[in-house]
């Protein structure tokens, strides 16, 4: 019973057990792995929270993954400096926020599974014709269960990733309770905006 409880606590609060240089090492390996998987599966992490289907070269995928991570680290670290003082360490934020990307792996693995697509060929800049609209309706009716399952997986991955990001910031920045939750939400929104601007410049 104690072993199960310990495993559950490790799953829910991993950064109570790993931080600093060790989390940074494993986190950088995780980011590198996500870059490779994103390239193979044509999955772009083009924002702190974003994941979209898209084909880029390997450099583009690396910029998306590492640029989004760097944006989050900068914003959350500065937030912790303001609220908790100079005792917080940059390496803890860099490591734990990188390692939190483990939660995104199931989402990118979905991109490796062949998915059916509607048989349409719309002309660029023109509206869909009635035949294409009918094809989409029939496609959705036939594959509705697959679409629902995919949506559930994507939402679950997003919730898991945000939970681990909050845990990373709470532990690394010593921010808990109401102050921790409110500051995390505000910083997350800012980090998302910063990552979008940064990637728009770099890509």
Q: What percent of the chain has pLDDT over 90?
A: 44
The per-residue pLDDT for range 177-199, each reduced to its tens digit, is: 888 999 999 999 999 999 999 99
What is residue 164's predicted lDDT score, i.e. its pLDDT?
A: 93
123 pLDDT more than 50: yes
Of 122 and 201, the one with more pLDDT:
201
Mean pLDDT of 108-126: 63
Q: Please, which residues bridge with residue 44 across strands? A: 52
Q: Can you tell me the distance from the alpha carbon of 24 to that of 63, in angstroms, rounded to the nearest whole number?
A: 18
Mean pLDDT of 74-92: 93
102 pLDDT more than 70: yes
Of 141 and 65, the one with more pLDDT:
65
65 pLDDT more than 60: yes
Q: Can you tell me the distance from the alpha carbon of 135 to that of 137, in angstroms, rounded to the nearest whole number?
A: 6
pLDDT range class, residue 125, cuts 50, 70, 90: very low
What is residue 190's predicted lDDT score, i.e. its pLDDT?
A: 95
- 183: which 2 tokens? 């500051």
172 and 92 in contact (C-beta within 8 Å)? yes
pTM for the model: 0.82
Q: Can you tell me the distance from the alpha carbon of 138 to that of 105, in angstroms, rounded to the nearest whole number?
A: 31
What is residue 98's predicted lDDT score, i.e. its pLDDT?
A: 95
The per-residue pLDDT for range 30-41, each reduced to its tens digit, is: 999 999 998 988
100 pLDDT more than 60: yes
Within 13 Å, how many C-alpha atoms sit on residue 154's CB side?
15
- 144: which 2 tokens? 């509705």
- 146: which 2 tokens? 């697959």
């Amino acid at each position: 019973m104690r072993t199960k409880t310990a495993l559950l606590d490790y799953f829910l609060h991993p950064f109570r057990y790993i931080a600093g240089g060790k989390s940074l090492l494993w986190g950088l390996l995780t980011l590198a792995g996500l870059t490779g998987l994103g390239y193979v599966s044509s999955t772009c992490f083009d924002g702190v929270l974003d994941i979209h289907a898209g084909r880029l070269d390997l450099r583009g995928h690396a910029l998306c993954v590492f640029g989004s991570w760097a944006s989050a680290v900068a914003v959350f670290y500065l937030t912790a400096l303001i609220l908790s003082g100079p005792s917080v360490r940059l390496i803890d934020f860099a490591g734990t926020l990188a390692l939190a990307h483990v939660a995104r792996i199931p989402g990118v693995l979905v991109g490796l599974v062949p998915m059916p697509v509607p048989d349409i060929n719309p002309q660029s800049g023109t509206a869909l014709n009635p035949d294409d609209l009918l094809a989409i309706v029939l496609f959705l009716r036939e594959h509705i269960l697959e679409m629902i399952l995919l949506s559930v997986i994507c939402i679950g991955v997003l919730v898991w990733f945000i939970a681990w990001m909050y845990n990373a910031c709470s532990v690394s920045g010593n921010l808990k309770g109401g102050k921790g939750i409110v500051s995390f939400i505000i910083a997350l929104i800012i980090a998302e905006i910063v990552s979008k601007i940064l990637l728009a410049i770099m890509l």
